[in-house]
Amino acid sequence: MKILLKTIDALCVAGAVVAALCAAALAVILIIEVVATSFFAWSQPWAVEYSGYLLAATLFCGSGWTLRDAGHVRVQVLTNLLPPGAQRAADMLGAAFALGVACFASWSMVEYAVRSAGFGSTSVFPTRTPLVYPQGLLAAGLVVLTLGLLARLIRLIRGEAPETSGAEETHI
């Protein structure tokens, strides 16, 4: 079980690194685009298309890590009124519920990407990029988030702290 949790944590961190790199790449591509279009009358044929893909990766690849880092928002006004035991039970119930939703969403997205691969769907932009790659990246981000929820549920059941404390400092 320890190994599973460690593996999931490592995947979450890896996802966050991917998301960070994608955010950086997004900035770099668009800065180059400003220079290229303003001074060289040239446009990177991938700039607009890939900024969409990089956006998707930035939004979701680090989601599992953000969960572990207590970065996702939830309303705890009511659950905080409960006694500690019930609070833990509510926390588990919430995590299990979210895990169900996340499983459905990530399974849908994985299936979507797989079908794109099967059809050989490509983008309509000049790169004609096979869509399975960016869609697969988004699906991977969702799967990591789902695993993060699983890890959280396991930790709650084992009575461990589900989140890393000290949300101020980043870990990537």
Partner 1 sequence: MTAPLGFMAGLLLLTLGGGVWVGFSLLSVGILSLEVFKNMKVDRFLAGDLWSSTTALELVTLPLFILMGEILFHTRLSENLFAGLAPFVRRLPGRLTHITVLGCTIFAAVSGSSAATTATVGRITLKELEARGYDRTLSAGALAGAGTMGLLIPPSIPLIVYGVLAEVSILDLFIAGVIPGLILAALFMSWIGLAASFRTGALPPREPSTSWGHKARALVKLLPVSVLIVFVLGSMYAGFASVTEAAAVGVLGGLVLAASEGQLSLTMLRKALGSTVRTCSMIGLILCGALFLSKAMARLAIPTDVAAAIQALELSPTLLILILMVFYLGLGCFLDGLSTIVMTLPVTLPLVLAAGFDPVWFGIFLIVTVEMAQITPPIGFNLFVIRGLTGMPLGRIAWAAAPFCLLMVGLVLLMVAFPGIVTWLPERLR
Partner 2 sequence: AEWDVAFPWGATEFHTVNGMAYARAVEEATGGEVKLTIHPGGALGVKANESLRAVEDGAVPMAEYGMFQNVGDVPILGIEAIPFLVKDYAQLKVMHSLVRPIWEAELEKRNQKPLYMAPWPSQNFFTKKEINTFEDFEGIKMRTYDANTATMVARLGMAALQMNNADIVPALATGKLDAVMTSGSTAAAQKYWEFLDHVYNTNHLWATNVLVVNLDYWSELTEEQRGIMESLAEKMEPEFWAISEAEHAKRMAQLQENGMTVQAPSPEILAKMREVTADMADDFVARVPEAGPIIEEFKARTAE
**Binding-site ranges for partner 2 (CB under 8 A):** 37, 41-43, 45, 47-49, 112, 115-116, 119, 121-128, 131
* Least distance (Å) between residue 117 CB and partner 1: 14
Cβ–Cβ under 8 Å, residues 92 and 115:
no
Residue 9: contacted member of partner 2, partner 1, none (CB under 5 to 8 Å, by partner type): none
- C-alpha pair distances (Å), 83 with each of 76, 87, 95: 13, 6, 18
- Cβ neighbours of residue 55 closer than 8 Å, sequence gap 6 or more: 26
Residues that bind partner 1 (CB under 8 A): 16, 19-20, 23-24, 26-27, 29-31, 33-34, 37-38, 48, 51-53, 55-56, 58-63, 65-67, 69, 71-79, 90-91, 93-94, 97-98, 100-102, 104-105, 107-109, 111-112, 134-135, 138, 142, 145, 167, 170-172
- Cβ neighbours of residue 45 closer than 8 Å, sequence gap 6 or more: 125, 126, 127
* Least distance (Å) between residue 14 CB and partner 1: 12
* Least distance (Å) between residue 105 CB and partner 1: 6
How far is it, in rounded angstroms, from Cα 158 to Cα 145? Answer: 20
